[in-house]
Structure 1
């Protein structure tokens, strides 16, 4: 097995090799570091790196596996890359901003804490746009992150560094956060798996844990690895008031889905969808049909005004306030897109706007709720365009998809609707590639709190396709 093959192994397979002493945590980490030194300069997906510290942890993990009868943790020795927006005790978290370049945290966020306690080795932080407020991954502190499948294109955002690192074989597991699609957008654009759990399923740190549109979750190369991470991170935490009491055990092995009822919509009735995205979505539905699922197109009756305006209102009251506060004293350190966000927030925000997204969310669920009540899952594209260029301007007034002028920030994604519907679990999985080489993805949306059914559908789909990174022909050429 080559070093590159080792770097693309799923965590579940790595753990088996560790236990049978056919691979060691030190060998894996060294292979990962060597590959990152070769590949990362081409895509720029890593922020801070802790290679020496991680190697010491890998050696300690190796010693545990070598000792007869020793107990090992569930993720003992597995390399983990953490988004540079989640706290890691003793490390700085910059949030993609020069403003926080010296901000060191004294504790880890609950999700990260649980992964550390499970034995994962945090060896790198992944890039994010400033304040995580964009679907692009570019910042003044870290520069531009590129898509491993085609470096002229971006990896999506705001967890773009995590998506790119996974696709490039630079980490085994990664983390992300998701307030408008920030896990699922890069999962789709990079051809990996990303899960937005119901709000509160995974405990989080403040202030994100109180934001019902916000979620923290796993990013992986396989559905089973995402389930593995979820089974470790979910459940109540004594320091997170919003973490929910119920803990769900997710399946990691595929099962038959014959008779499963699947509803779908390619465009929600109003979204312009790239032809490659549409074609790959329909091919994915054919896979579900071959597996015995009953697939039915539905009309949710949603309109652009119902969901799009609502998220803008919400962001102006949330991210917008943050950019306003920071620009008062630190405008010289901020990115152009963050300063434009502050200008828009000053111009558009009123205290009345905070209630409008809740009203619109309720209206949207009046049609989605009954659809999910009569179907097991709902499927739609993750992004309605494969991605945007690496130098995309999220304020470009002339940005178009399929010739139609759309919002340059949210007009190419179909994710934010399910942040507003925050209790629905949503898993993004690959659906194919566009002509540009950039991957496309689909979202599998579940009934509120019904995470297990989403994973059941995804595991069966993944098995039917034979996984996504099993051979060199299925990997980016870098």
Structure 2
């Protein structure tokens, strides 16, 4: 029962065939079995969750159920919840307690979602793997030698392991999509402003809060709860967009396929799985055409480093100055790289971002969506650190494999990552579906069409063997 989809659980709750208490109990039992190996949770609220499940059961009996009534939701620890720890995975912040709740998390609670756990992240969410001095190493349920990715690694690992039904993530360089790819789950980076963000990072156009789940329908369900304007966020979009159900078929859609985005060195298993995904979409009636993009990896990395160096890095620097070696090696390196960025670089960064978007914008005028690998590699080692080089590759930094970053630069484009297959090391690979600016619905149509022909988690063969 711990792998029950959210949409199916709601149907069973409404019909009386199952209860929130049964689901929450099953998810907690599963978490207790797998957490010693996976380590996806930073904090657990099992007793409170069971109390909430009993209250949800009464709401169903009274005919007063809300959109997420009785569903377990694991919330990434970077999102504040009043009265609970908000450490950002940092040892110096281990006693930090939030005084406010992030707007999108409050919407989950108000919709009847049951927050039974907070999920692990890398320190300050600044790495594509998930390990910290505070929480230790979070591991990929498909192969414990590998990372679930980052920074929403705990959320993806919990979904893959069956220790939550829904989860939240945030994405400033791929932090929803990377773990979704590595763990074989579905994650959505909404376009900038779709989901209200907490200040001051609501004003950072690379930054997005978004839903993660084991199916496209479940992602849409959670997205429809958390999206919409909020008075605390000046960039939150009006009117609220609702992803429809059912979605229209993908037949007739024109889809561009880029196996490498013009500049990434893509692993052979990832490339093969991407081409197989393209064939599934052709079977769905879409017209899929391979295209080329004129991007240069050096320009992508330079634009991102300028952006991070102007906003993200300086936000961490005071803690580095105060606590030094208490920070992880990758967090210290992140600040050091940011220190190399001068204020005069900011304008060059804007020029680079504009130049990088222009050919993508032209492409999406001709096509309804773009598909590409989510990451250039299937996975990274669980304890991978800044500066480590994956075996058999010549990468100079982790951004060399992060095919997610261009779509933080093109931040108004919605992007879903869905499972595309498995690699030789046993871990899943991901397919990114990139929509036109603010055209979320078409991206979901493509994702649903692919999932219809390649479902995961509904089939026990597409579940990790852990536990």
If the length of structure 2 is used for normalisation, what is the TM-score? 0.98
Describe the superposition over 1:136-195 as per-residue Cα deviations: whole angstroms up to 9, x where unpaired: 100001100000000000001000000000000010000000000000000000000000
Separation of aligned partners in 2, 1:344 and 1:289: 43
Query: For 2:156, which of 132, 140, 163 is the aligned residue?
Result: 163
Separation of aligned partners in 2, 1:36 and 1:329: 36
Match in the other structure for 1:363: 355
Query: For 1:475, which of 460, 463, 466 is the aligned residue?
Result: 463
- Asked if 1:393 is matched to 2:388, the reply is no
Describe the superposition over 1:185-244 as per-residue Cα deviations: whole angstroms up to 9, x where unpaired: 000000000000011100111122111000000000000011111111111101111111
Query: For 1:211, which of 204, 209, 214 is the aligned residue?
Result: 204
- For structure 2, the residue ranges without an aligned partner over 5 or more in a row are none
Backbone CA RMSD of aligned residues: 1.2
Match in the other structure for 1:191: 184
Describe the superposition over 1:38-89 as per-residue Cα deviations: whole angstroms up to 9, x where unpaired: 111111110011111111111111111123xx21100011000000100112
Q: Against the structure 1 CA distance between its residues 175 and 19, is the aligned structure 2 distance closer, same or farther, given a 3 Å change threshold?
A: same
**Correspondences of 1:58-77 after superposition (within 5 Å):** 58-67=53-62, 70-77=63-70
Match in the other structure for 2:8: 13
Match in the other structure for 1:349: 341
Separation of aligned partners in 2, 1:400 and 1:151: 16
> In the alignment, is the contact (CA less than 8 A) between 2:329 and 2:385 conserved in 1?
no
Describe the superposition over 1:337-390 as per-residue Cα deviations: whole angstroms up to 9, x where unpaired: 1122223333x1211222333211110121111110111100110001011011
Separation of aligned partners in 1, 2:193 and 2:337: 30
- For structure 1, the residue ranges without an aligned partner over 5 or more in a row are 1-5
Describe the superposition over 1:380-438 as per-residue Cα deviations: whole angstroms up to 9, x where unpaired: 10001011011111222xx157x442133212220010001010000000000000011
Query: For 1:84, which of 57, 77, 80 is the aligned residue?
Result: 77
Match in the other structure for 2:219: 226
Judge which range, 252-261 or 76-85, deviates more: 252-261
Query: For 1:287, which of 276, 280, 283 is the aligned residue?
Result: 280
> In the alignment, is the contact (CA less than 8 A) between 2:140 and 2:157 conserved in 1?
yes
Separation of aligned partners in 1, 2:323 and 2:188: 34
Deviation at 1:265, TM superposition (A): 0.6
Separation of aligned partners in 1, 2:99 and 2:353: 37
Separation of aligned partners in 1, 2:295 and 2:325: 41
Separation of aligned partners in 2, 1:473 and 1:301: 39
Query: For 2:294, which of 301, 304, 309 is the aligned residue?
Result: 301
Separation of aligned partners in 2, 1:257 and 1:50: 41
Match in the other structure for 2:303: 310
If the length of structure 1 is used for normalisation, what is the TM-score? 0.95
Does the residue aligned with 1:428 lie in a helix, a strand or coil?
Answer: strand
> In the alignment, is the contact (CA less than 8 A) between 1:176 and 1:217 conserved in 2?
yes
> In the alignment, is the contact (CA less than 8 A) between 1:301 and 1:367 conserved in 2?
yes
How many residue pairs end up in the alignment?
Answer: 466
